[in-house]
Structure 1
Amino acid sequence: MSIDVFEEIVRLRKERVPAALATVVSAKGSTPAKMTTRMLVTAMGRVCGTVGGGCVEADVIRAARDVIDTGRPRTLSFKLVGEEAERTGIACGGIVDVMVEPLEDPRVVIVGAGHVGQAVARLATDVGLQVTVVDDRPDFANAERFPAADEIIVAELDALRDAVGVGPRTSILVMTRGHAEDYGVLRWALTTPAGRIGVLGSRSKRKRFIDDLRAEGHDTDRIDNVSMPVGLDLGAETVPEIAVSIVAELIAHRRGVRPAHA
């Protein structure tokens, strides 16, 4: 990997710019790409590096944009012989496999720095998630109460669009101090590309929120995918148990499993 790609990865991670990394994982026969050759593609279409050029690269760029949108990795295989060679414009007789993966790390944004938020943050860190804690109260959102959090943001809850970066591998958990605050944050979350949105609350609260969101004209599919009450059905009652059920749901989503819901 060239130093330019290394530097770009560091910069994009720091700025949380959505991007995908394409890596040649197999190169057999005569090919223009060598093993571990890499190319970085951002959501805006900026490219750094190469995986061989021609239509191979064009296909990889298209796949990278899909990976950025979905947060799910893909592997592409190119046989540079016959019709495939004519299509790609690279007739060298080899076979190239390219893995395309999202650059964004799995992350959870916890909006609400109360007791449940504290417990969820601890467990989420333990299972390898990047943790961002958001609240409008500095006495709650601070390093003393959230020592393991990767990021702590103190911001007004009606100004999260500019304060919090969100990508497709981000899960947003809404657990503020009140129903009105929860609803406002949920409205913001629905406008983001977050891969998962969960809200702490009851089924009656879900019905009320869903009805209001539909009346406001929010995307129906997006609304239906909101997890509320968030957490797997474990019969949880205490704060630590509720946190376990919520993090278990995050793990299930991360692994592509569809378990029973609370």
Structure 2
Amino acid sequence: MLNIAESLYRWYGEPRPFALATVVGVEGSAPLPLGTSLAVDADGNAVGSISGGCVESAVYELCQRLLQDGGPAQRARFGYSDDDAFAVGLTCGGELDVLVQRIDPIAHPHLADALAAVADGRPAAVAQVVDGPEDLVGRMVCVDGAGTCPSDLPDALSRQVTAQARALLHAGRTALVESGGDAVTCPDRVSVLVHVHASRPRMLIFGAIDFAAALSRAGRFLGYRVTVCDARPVFTTRARFPHADEVVVDWPHRYLEQTPVDARTAVCVLTHDPKFDVPVLRQALALPVGYVGAMGSRRTHDHRMRLLREAGVSDRQLARLHSPIGLDLGARSPEETAISVVAEILATRHRTTGLPLSDLTGPIHAVPRPPKSEDPHMSLSQRMAKP
């Protein structure tokens, strides 16, 4: 639902009741992920999408019927139809479970805080019960970055769901979780979809070169909060990096010591100069960031690896380093190189192969989970090389 938070917040302000249809289950290939919503008000106005067009009409009718007739939240399943693929079925071959419920801003005021946070660009999460006892389905807990958590769930269950929502908000990930199932919280198991709107992930680019300008633009396009940092003030200027959110004149390793990072942070070292590379890579490889890449030729890479080992960086830490940076796309220009780098960042973040989809089988939107023994920070090339 947070994909349409600004519109819903506006409807809350009027106040305007609406029906909310949310993707709460996906099987096979589907165009949009869990938590994506479409909303319809009493005048027939619609915002959002849940399938990219395949089943919108059928869901729109369900929303209108629920607004007119009232009643509890209800689930519906939409799948591929061989007889008429464009009538109701998903032409991509997947199946969607959709929860439709009526939202009255006056009766459900707690949702307004989370919608306001998202509309204002602040992190927030909404935990929505999507399966379980009928009287609980559709109820919500809202958590914002400040820690407030208005809820319409029973107290014990609310505390458990709030803890799960906070953990997913910290991780920046929307997910389906299970709660209850005991005498303390709730006798019945309930499925809870935690919708997360996290702060923008960070991309830290070290090295004020032309490739950094192209990469900052690509990173900004993908939604990263981009910082370009270099110790040379003559090159490190706002005019050279207009797409960066921050342009910092400082030694890379010193800046990295002082700035906040998390598991979604991408660190890209483009200086290929040992006096910059080694200290900042030594620092980055010891941090719980999601991606560390370094630019340079294979000869530069081999030399840099020797220097990093001499500086005390372990083989396990070095296994996380993506160097030479980027995927093999034949990139030459700064712009092409930026595409190869962000492609590798995406493949690493989603733990996928980086191979052409035409060479693979199965759902194209599936996200493979690594084996339990696999290091989540292992480089893409190392995962592909495992037997």
| TM bucket normalised to smaller | 0.7 to 0.9
Cα drift, residue 172 of structure 1: 0.6
Residue type of the alignment partner of 1:24? Q
> Which position in structure 1 is the counterpart of 2:285?
190
Which structure has the larger Rg?
A: 2
Q: Deviations over 1:219-261 (max 9, x none)?
A: 5433201111111001223333222211222233344422267
Unaligned residue ranges in structure 2 (runs of 5+): 1-109, 356-379, 382-387
Deviation at 1:171, TM superposition (A): 0.4
2:155 is aligned with 1:58: no
In the alignment, which of 251, 264, 275 is matched to residue 156 of structure 1? 251
Structure 1 residue 205: Cα displacement = 3.0
The equivalent residue for 1:119 is 214
Shift of 1:25: 5.2
Q: 1:31-54 CA distances to partner (integer Å, 9 max, x unpaired)?
A: 3x854431247xxxx843155442
Q: Map 1:222-233 onto structure 2 (within 5 A).
A: 222-233=317-328
Q: Which of these residues, 168, 175, 188, is aligned with residue 74 of structure 1? A: 175
Aligned 8 A contact 2:141 2:162 in 1 = no
For residues 98-118 of structure 1, give each alpha carbon's deviation from its aligned partner in whole angstroms, at most 9, with x where no partner exists. Answer: 316472323311111111101
Residue matched to 2:331: 236
Deviates more, 1:46-55 or 1:180-189: 46-55
Q: Distance in 2 between matches of 1:209 and 1:72?
A: 34
Alpha-carbon distance change, 249 to 139 in structure 1, aligned in 2, over 3 angstroms: same
> 1:30 is matched with which residue: 109, 132, 135?
135
Aligned counterpart for 2:271 among listed residues 176, 195, 198: 176
Q: Give the structure-1-normalised TM-score.
A: 0.75
**Contact 2:207–2:228 under 8 Å retained in 1:** yes
| Equivalent residue, structure 2, for 1:85 | 182
Fraction of identical pairs, as percent:
26
Aligned length: 245
Q: Which moved more, 1:144-153 or 1:3-12?
A: 3-12
Query: Per the alignment, do residues 37 and 197 of structure 1 end up closer, same or farther by CA in structure 2, a change over 3 Å counting?
Result: same
Please say if residues 68 and 168 of structure 1, whose CA atoms lie closer than 8 Å, have aligned partners that are also in contact: no
Query: What TM-score, normalized to structure 2?
Result: 0.53
Q: Does the CA contact (< 8 Å) of 2:201 and 2:225 recur in 1?
A: yes
Amino acid in the other structure paired with 1:145: R
* Equivalent position SS for 2:305: helix
Question: Which letter does structure 1 place at the counterpart of 2:294?
Answer: V
Q: Deviations over 1:51-96 (max 9, x none)?
A: 5442663365257447736x54432133x5xxx132x4334x5834
Following the alignment from structure 1 to structure 2, what is the Cα–Cα distance between the partners of residues 76 and 103? 18
Comparing both chains, which one has the higher relative contact order based on Cα–Cα distances under 8 Å and sequence gaps of 6 or more? 1
Q: What does residue 109 of structure 1 align with?
A: 204
RMSD, matched Cα: 3.5
CA contact (8 A) 2:220 2:243 kept: yes
- SS of the aligned residue for 2:143 comes to strand
- Gaps spanning 5+ residues in structure 1: where? 14-18
Judge which range, 204-213 or 121-130, deviates more: 204-213
Contact conserved, 1:50 with 1:57, CA < 8 A, in 2?
no
Alignment partners' CA distance in 2, 1:209 and 1:196: 18
